[in-house]
Amino acid sequence: MRDAYHDELESLTDRLVEMTRLVRSAMSRGTTALLDADLQLAESVISQDAEVDRIYNELESSIYELMALQQPVAVDLRTVVTALRMASDLERMGDLAEHIAKIARMRHPDSAIPAELRDTIVEMGAIAENLITKTGSCIASRDIELAKELEEDDDAMDRLHRRLFRVLLSDNWSHGVEAAIDITLAGRYYERYADHAVRVAQDVVYLVTGSRTDDVAAD
Amino acid sequence: MRDAYHDELESLTDRLVEMTRLVRSAMSRGTTALLDADLQLAESVISQDAEVDRIYNELESSIYELMALQQPVAVDLRTVVTALRMASDLERMGDLAEHIAKIARMRHPDSAIPAELRDTIVEMGAIAENLITKTGSCIASRDIELAKELEEDDDAMDRLHRRLFRVLLSDNWSHGVEAAIDITLAGRYYERYADHAVRVAQDVVYLVTGSRTDDVAAD
């Protein structure tokens, strides 16, 4: 009985890493769909979010069942409670990638991204991909040094987010209100995606060290 | 020892209800600050979010300490894990109210809301207030009928959110890109505030019934 139980605890990690793979792929394809107005790619991101949701719902059920039947304590309890939080953040990251794909679909056959913002969105997509890759490694390896790197990448994302607004509000903006709305929302989705990645990494730090370094402060 | 433990479990509920009061007040003042370009009110929302964060951090620490020292099982474990989720959603609702106040502050002494959208924002603010009031009652009374009402209120919020976009994208829009960005973000904040309120109520349902009705689906 205890063996099956420990197998189950280990499988939580595998399933979380699997979620990071899916939400990385979703964000990568979502960004390409947005930049290239690729409807088929956008549709694939939108339909495949169901797979992220399915893993999330299964993981959540396993965790509640495990808590009820096995009554984990000490480090095991910390592991399952933290897995629940991480799964919730990863599920949300899947939604955000899907939201980006929906902007691409809504504007197809046009691109929602004007030429002068293309590089910024490319960079935001690259940072998002980098963040979730590190998050996955961080969950798998429990390397807490990676968690620090994630916070720096998140700062880079915030700088790009502010750059978007500077372009939207410059006198040279010639693409009107609809494009500005799309870019405002897309920028928000990338920024939130990065925030959730950082939260997951902070949860790994908590799991390893047993202390929280991520007190919530005004953001 | 067990008595202090059960007192502590009960105090979790009190502190969650206290968080609902604070984030209701924050959203109510945030909406007024936004509509009336009231800088002082906006500043009060922004500075007082620290109080929500403080309660959240304390609550989280108490919960982790309680899990480590008392090793709760069965219904007690469900109570603490659910409290952790609810506190996280409520903390986020405080942030969203603060974001709305920050829009008001950024545009002061102008109002970020043009006359033709005033009624819609008033309604969104009223629904937000209604939602968090019911969420607080739901936590305190464990009345799961209230949770169903919250989902209807959330639908009303989504309808208002779509109305905002219709106005922004109409040919009559004469307020330019900056105002459109403000309203796009404010609309998103109200919508997310409502989503988090619904999640908290769904957690109460889980606490009472022991089964989850809120499987995550594509949103």
Q: Residue B52 is part of which domain span? A: 2-209
In this predicted structure, the answer to whether residue B20 has a pLDDT above a threshold of 50 is yes
In this predicted structure, the answer to whether residue B131 has a pLDDT above a threshold of 70 is yes
Record: contact B165-A181, CB cut-off 8 A: yes
From first CA to last CA, the distance across chain A in angstroms is 45
Of the partner residues A74, A177, A188, the one whose CB lies closest to the CB of residue B177: A177
Phi then psi for residue B135, to 5 deg, are -60, -45
Q: How much is the pLDDT for A218?
A: 43
Q: How far is B30 from chain A (nearest CA, A)?
A: 15
What pLDDT, in 10s, does the model give residues B153-164?
Answer: 999 999 999 999
Of B181, B190, B214, which to mutate for an interface test with A (greatest number of A Cβ within 10 Å)? B181
pLDDT confidence bin for B218, thresholds 50/70/90:
very low
In a domain, A215, yes or no: no
In a domain, B219, yes or no: no
Of A54, A77, A84, A166, which to mutate for an interface test with B (greatest number of B Cβ within 10 Å)? A77
Rounded Cα distance between B37 and B41, Å, is 9
In a domain, B215, yes or no: no
In a domain, B216, yes or no: no
In a domain, A178, yes or no: yes
Q: Rg (Cα) of chain B, in Å, rounded?
A: 19
Which residues in chain A are closer than 8 Å to B195, comparing Cβ atoms? none
- Do residues A203 and A82 make contact, with C-beta atoms less than 8 angstroms apart? yes
Q: How far is B188 from chain A (nearest CA, A)?
A: 8
**Domains of chain A: total:** 1
Q: How much is the pLDDT for A216?
A: 65
Q: How much is the pLDDT for A35?
A: 98
Q: Is A181 on the interface with B (CB under 8 A)?
A: yes
Q: How much is the pLDDT for B200?
A: 97
In a domain, B179, yes or no: yes
Token pair, residue A160, equals 């790009």
pLDDT confidence bin for B102, thresholds 50/70/90:
very high
pLDDT cut 90: percent of chain A above it: 81
In a domain, A217, yes or no: no
What pLDDT, in 10s, does the model give residues B147-195?
Answer: 889 999 999 999 999 999 999 999 999 999 999 999 999 999 999 999 9
Q: What is the mean pLDDT of residues A76-103?
A: 96
CB atoms within 10 A of CB A71: 14
Record: contact A212-B95, CB cut-off 8 A: no
Q: Is A190 on the interface with B (CB under 8 A)?
A: no
Record: contact B64-A212, CB cut-off 8 A: yes
Q: Please give the C-alpha separations between residue B177 and each of A169, A170, B21, B48, in angstroms, as whole numbers.
A: 7, 10, 35, 30
In a domain, B185, yes or no: yes
What pLDDT, in 10s, does the model give residues B30-81?
Answer: 999 999 999 999 999 999 999 999 999 999 999 988 888 888 888 898 899 9
pLDDT confidence bin for A215, thresholds 50/70/90:
low
Q: How much is the pLDDT for A19?
A: 98
Which residues in chain A are closer than 8 Å to B77, comparing Cβ atoms? 67-68, 71
A100/B215: higher pLDDT: A100
Question: What CATH number is associated with residue B134?
Answer: 1.20.58.220
Record: contact A95-B217, CB cut-off 8 A: no
